[in-house]
Amino acid sequence: MAQRLTVSDGVSKKTSRVRVAVRLRPYMSRQDEKDEGPCVRGLDSQNLEIINWRNATETVKYHFSIFYGEQTTQQEVFLSSVKPILPHILNGQNASVFAYGPTGAGKTHTMLGTAEQPGVIPRAVREVFNLVSAKDEDEGWDYSIGMSYLEIYNEKVLDLLSPNSQDLPIRENKDKNILIPGLTHTAISSFSDFDKHFIPATLNRTTASTKLNQRSSRSHAILLIKVVRTQRALPHRQQTGKLYLVDLAGSEDNRRTGNQGIRLKESGAINLSLFTLSKVVDALNSGTAARIPYRDSKLTRLLQDSLGGSAHSVMITNIAPEYRYYFDTFSALNFAAKSKLIVNKPFTRETVAVPVLPAPVKRSREEHEAVGSGA
Ligand code: ADP
Ligand code: MG
């Protein structure tokens, strides 16, 4: 086993980047006891600004490949960030979609959504069934779809389809596929079949209250949709494509939430996985790292064959506009940003209601005269 580990972990192979998008949820006054208004707002489809805490007459402007403003619908997020990668899993390739960000910023809304506003998970599962049923019989492949659902809690891998399961091991086979022996894998034949297994399992997710949040998500919830296709004729070639849909634990700084004891232990585990994930994404996107540190946490180890390499990955960083999220928003933005700029322009409230999408807003003179960088 051990010798094989020295073989390129994505070093000589071409690795694909992780697309990073940022989504700002609408301002909610019930989340803001002091009614201070938002401290962050969108500028156009790639830029947002946040007030600079060091100097309130300045804002810090961030640039992203995709920015979803508060008006962005679930459908728009799905169509632009997720739908395009789904055909690959019918061809034996892997993909992953993550929701990252502080608790309360919209990760579960983005991934799961509501009955009225379904999120990425129900839309993606429906689309996978649509893609499979649209496949031409004459191409000669049979398709089967299955699901697993697990969480990583305190660096333990727990099966959400088998409520009393113990910590499961993560293994790698000789083809460098990541496997979890003992994890429930259920064949699903339709979207309603999926829902029947998924809904009760969602309730198994571990949640606990912390000082900062009533129901803080302390674990990473990971839904795996596997598409296996088998050639009807000899030699019956078989290809497996995996899609991971991940609602990550909150990225808030747990040192500020007054966590102690078991909560503090959880905080350490959450921070380890998220910290490692950020290092992996950085290493993949800069293309400079000699070694991608997948093995440093359970989350990244599990996702090793579906993040980087030939996989298609999207990270949706969720942020909230209220002041109480300010420092968590900053750290989430710094995780997601390619560049930022300090702009010497006061953060005035009156432009807040301007729709963020779709037309890029013309830049003001002040912004062109922006000075400095790095907050
Ligand atoms: P998280 O999973 O990151 O803790 P949630 O998804 O639970 O956050 O979102 C917190 C609250 O904000 C929920 O009441 C949710 O319905 C609401 N919310 C989040 N994003 C949006 C959005 N884009 N539009 C409308 N409401 C949203
Ligand atoms: Mg949540």
The pLDDT score that the predictor gives to residue 215 is 34
CA of 160 to the centre of ligand 2 (A): 16
More confident residue, 106 or 207: 106
**pLDDT at residue 346 tops 90:** no
For residue 23, which atom of ligand 1 is closest to its CA?
A: 23
* ipTM summary value: 0.99
Tell me what pLDDT residue 155 has: 87
pLDDT of residue 344: 63
pLDDT band (50, 70, 90) for residue 347: low
279-319 pLDDT, tens digit per residue, is: 899 888 887 767 899 999 999 999 999 998 889 999 999 99
Does residue 9 carry a pLDDT above 70? no
pLDDT confidence of residue 361: 44
Confidence tier at 338 by pLDDT (50, 70, 90) = low
Query: 71 C-alpha vs ligand 1 centroid, how far in Å?
Result: 13
Which atom from ligand 1 is nearest to the alpha carbon of 70? 23
* Average pLDDT, integer, range 203-220: 56
Q: Give the per-residue SS3 of the chain.
A: CHHHHHCCCCCCCCCCCEEEEEEECCCCHHHCCCCCCECEEECCCCEEEEECCCCCCCEEEEECCEEECCCCCHHHHHHHHHHHHHHHHHHCCCEEEEEECCCCCCHHHHHCECCCCECHHHHHHHHHHHHHHCCCHHHCEEEEEEEEEEEEECCEEEECCCCCCCCCCCEECCCCCEECCCCCCEEECCHHHHHHHHHHHHCCCCEECCCCCCCEECCEEEEEEEEEEEECCCCCCEEEEEEEEEECCCCCCHHHCCCCHHHHHHHHHHHHHHHHHHHHHHHHHHCCCCCCCHHHCHHHHHCHHHCCCCCEEEEEEEECCEHHHHHHHHHHHHHHCCEEEEECCCCCCCCCCCCCCCCCCCCCHHHHCCCCCCC
Report residue 365's pLDDT band, with 50, 70 and 90 as the boundaries: very low
Candidate of 77, 109, 151, 257 to mutate for ligand 1, largest count of ligand atoms within 8 Å of Cβ = 109
* Residue 372 pLDDT level (bands cut at 50, 70, 90): very low
Residue 341 has pLDDT above 90, yes or no: no
Mean pLDDT across 334-347:
69
List, chain by chain if needed, residues with CB within 6 Å of any ligand 1 atom: 25-26, 101, 103-109, 217, 318
Q: Which residue CA neighbors atom 5 of ligand 1 most closely?
A: 106
Higher pLDDT, 100 or 154: 100
Q: What is the pLDDT of residue 30?
A: 75
At 268, the pLDDT band (50, 70, 90 cuts) reads low
Is it the case that residue 368 has pLDDT exceeding 90?
A: no
Res. 150 pLDDT band, cuts 50 70 90? very high
